[in-house]
């Protein structure tokens, strides 16, 4: 396994004895050259997990490993310098993730500059090369982020993450802020880079159809925990957890004629507050199949096959 976590937790102290359980005991494994899709509603902890995994958030507890090497709980400046060669992130919002006061040359080349091993001319040459790779004009490196569209800015963010040759990249909803016409272009670009660079990706997204299309395996997250994992097609077409079933049911049908005629079963209620969570299944208040034990006993993870597992009392 290139990347794995064991009971990773990230809590935020809110004061007055309140603790927000953003990520609460997540154990995942990601093989080399694999794309793991991580899905779930807003507020489920997907982005926080990705950031805690690569050191952008200090872990509260649990372990994270890269290439069987235990990553520090809290990254120092030296740790960030060392691990950033292999661990990178593409951020969700292409408008806020780029410094408006820096040119594209400075933004994309910053990682190489921080490494301190490259001359200015070498950095400029590599930035030009990467702008071409992501479908942008190298002559535009003297421009500023506000001069580019959302899709172009996301390509700049991709070039910034890839230029130092990472092995593992967290893609934090890289297409959610983009027009539909641009989303496919960015997905195809990421797949091309995965093949040419041998990348391993954690692909975080809301669009389940897109995640199924791009991912090898899929993990479903709800209120800080992973409730189902398996091959992407198995989870999408044969979901086991009631939450996964409802999440996929609520996914829009691409064909508008079918979308108009099919029956929707909405997920009732709102996602429960992640503050001071008590024992029991976290989906119990919204689940159509809730049993008495769901309200008091936290379900264990059950392996349905060698590759498909679920955390639900229905399978125990």
pLDDT in tens, 186-211: 888 889 889 999 999 999 998 888 89
Nearest-angstrom CA–CA distance, 112 and 109 = 5
Q: Give the chain's domain count.
A: 1
Residue 309: inside a domain, yes or no? Answer: no
Evaluate whether residue 33 is within a structural domain.
yes
* Confidence (pTM): 0.92
Tokens of 80: 């960030």
The confidence score (pLDDT) of residue 16 equals 84
Beta bridge pairs of residue 275: 20
Q: What whole-number distance in Å separates Cα of residue 93 and Cα of residue 137?
A: 22
State the pLDDT at residue 189: 87
- Is the confidence at residue 249, as pLDDT, over 90? no
Banded pLDDT at 259 (limits 50, 70, 90)? low
Rounded to whole angstroms, the Cα distance separating 169 from 171 reads 6
CATH number at residue 172: 3.40.50.300
Q: Is the pLDDT of residue 262 over 80?
A: no
Determine, yes or no, domain membership for 129.
Answer: no
- Whether the CA torsion 178, 107, 200, 195 is positive or negative: it is positive
C-alpha 147 chain-centroid distance: 28
Distance CA 206, CA 110 (A): 30
pLDDT of residue 264: 65
Q: Domain range holding 49? A: 3-86+166-241
CA distances from 178 to 105, 148, 173, 184 (A): 23, 13, 10, 10
Element (H, E) at 310: strand 309-311
Residue 313 belongs to some domain of the structure: no
Q: Are 2 and 17 in contact (CB under 8 A)?
A: no
Dihedrals phi, psi of 30, to nearest 5 degrees: -130, 120
- pLDDT, mean over the chain: 91
Q: Report whether pLDDT(258) > 70.
A: no
Residue 191 lies in a domain: yes
Q: What are phi and psi of 282, to 5 degrees?
A: -75, -15
With respect to residue 79, please indicate whether it lies within any of the assigned structural domains: yes
Res. 180 pLDDT band, cuts 50 70 90:
confident
Checking if the pLDDT of 55 tops 60, the result is: yes
Helices within the chain (DSSP H only): 46-53, 77-83, 104-115, 120-133, 150-162, 180-197, 208-214, 232-237, 242-249, 256-261
Would you state the pLDDT for residue 263?
65
> Is 315 a domain residue?
no
- Residues 109 and 125: their CA atoms lie apart, in Å, by 10
**Band of the pLDDT at 185, cuts 50, 70, 90?**
confident
Domain assignment of residue 299, yes or no: no
């Amino acid at each position: 396994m290139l990347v794995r976590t064991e009971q990773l937790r990230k809590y935020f102290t809110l004061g007055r004895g309140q603790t927000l359980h953003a990520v609460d005991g997540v154990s995942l494994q990601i093989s080399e050259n694999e794309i793991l899709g991580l899905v779930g509603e807003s507020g489920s902890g997907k982005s926080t997990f990705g950031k805690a995994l690569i050191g952008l958030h200090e872990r509260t507890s649990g372990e994270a490993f890269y290439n069987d090497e235990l990553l520090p709980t809290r990254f120092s400046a030296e740790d960030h310098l060392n691990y950033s060669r292999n661990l990178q992130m593409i951020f969700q919002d292409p408008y806020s993730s780029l410094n408006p006061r820096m040119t594209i040359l400075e933004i994309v080349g910053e990682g190489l500059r921080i490494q301190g091993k490259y001359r200015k001319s070498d950095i400029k040459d590599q930035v030009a090369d990467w702008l071409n790779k992501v479908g942008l004009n190298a002559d535009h490196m003297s421009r500023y982020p506000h001069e580019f569209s959302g899709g172009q800015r996301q390509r700049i963010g991709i070039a910034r993450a890839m230029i130092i040759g990472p092995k593992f990249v967290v893609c934090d909803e890289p297409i959610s802020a983009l027009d539909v016409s641009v989303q496919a272009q960015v997905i195809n670009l990421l797949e091309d880079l995965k093949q040419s660079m041998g990348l391993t990706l954690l692909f975080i997204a809301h669009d389940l159809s897109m995640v199924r299309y791009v991912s090898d395996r899929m993990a479903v997250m709800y209120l800080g925990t992973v409730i189902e994992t398996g091959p992407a097609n198995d989870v999408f077409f044969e979901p086991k957890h009631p939450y996964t079933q409802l999440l996929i049911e609520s996914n829009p049908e691409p064909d508008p004629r079918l979308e108009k005629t099919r029956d929707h079963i909405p997920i009732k209620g709102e996602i429960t507050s992640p503050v001071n969570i008590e024992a029991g299944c976290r989906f119990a208040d919204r689940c159509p199949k809730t049993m008495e034990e769901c309200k008091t006993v936290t379900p264990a993870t059950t392996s349905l096959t060698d590759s498909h597992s679920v955390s639900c009392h229905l399978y125990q």
